Amino acid sequence: MFPGIVYNLYGIDILYLIGRKLMGIDTAHKPETEAGRYNLIQQGSGLCKKDFAESLGISKAMGYQISTGLLKPSREVMEALRQSYNINLHWFLTGIGSSGYDPETVEIELLDQEAAAGQGRDVEDYIPHSSFLIPHSLIRPYRPDSLMAVYVAGDSMIDEHINDGDIAIFHPGLQEGNGIYVVSVGNALMVKRVDFGKGSQEITLISANKDYKPRRFSGTDLDDLKIAGRVLACVHRV
């Protein structure tokens, strides 16, 4: 369906994900109960039952009870279905009408600025924006309007399968421990693995290429370093 493009999603088994159906809800199948419709949304989301439940703010155990009809979804759960997956609650409660389920593909805002995976490149004062399409299943439970993307330039992250010309999708403001981030150093925008020292007193930017040495920041040097957001996925052409 998306020939010539490989999606690399960090923290998820990409081979398993790519092998699954990325078509959203199967409209040919019309479950007759709320439990059945809950299961249909979960299957279409591309998430496992545990991750789907967590995307709704509930435990895996509660998700199991809802999926088997042992428990009716609360108002909070239904509101989460509406907000996170655009579900038509009238359809969810009655099975009548359109599900309202999110489309197969969504648009991600793309900065027309390269983030260096190698030597830094200057960030332009005014960055024009465009967008590109990606299967929604690859970014759930994140909302597409909460994400941004940048082109990658250079070869310093090749051992993480992030190549020159790739598109890195990141969550602005998301900072969850060590991982791959879009960062800015002075006037340079980069994609690097970030290691947060004890109490964030020291931050190390690590390349995934032995030709590039780690860069450590501490003290006043940290003033020049800004974590733009955590990289969630990388798209590259083959």
Query: What residue has token string 């995976």?
Result: 117
Residue matched to tokens 């693995």: 193
At 12-48, the pLDDT tens digits run 332 222 222 323 444 445 788 999 999 988 887 768 8
The closest alpha carbon to 194, from 204, 202, 185, 207, belongs to 204
Query: Domains in the chain and their CATH numbers?
Result: 24-94 (1.10.260.40), 105-237 (2.10.109.10)
Q: Is the pLDDT of residue 80 over 70?
A: yes
| pLDDT range class, residue 132, cuts 50, 70, 90 | confident
Query: Is 87 in contact with 100 (CB distance < 8 Å)?
Result: yes
Model confidence pLDDT, tens digit, residues 135-191: 777 787 787 878 888 888 889 999 998 888 888 999 988 888 899 999 988 777 889
- 63-78 pLDDT per residue, tens: 999 999 999 999 999 9
**How does DSSP assign 129-157, residue by residue?**
EEEEEEEGGGTTTS-GGG-EEEEEESSTT
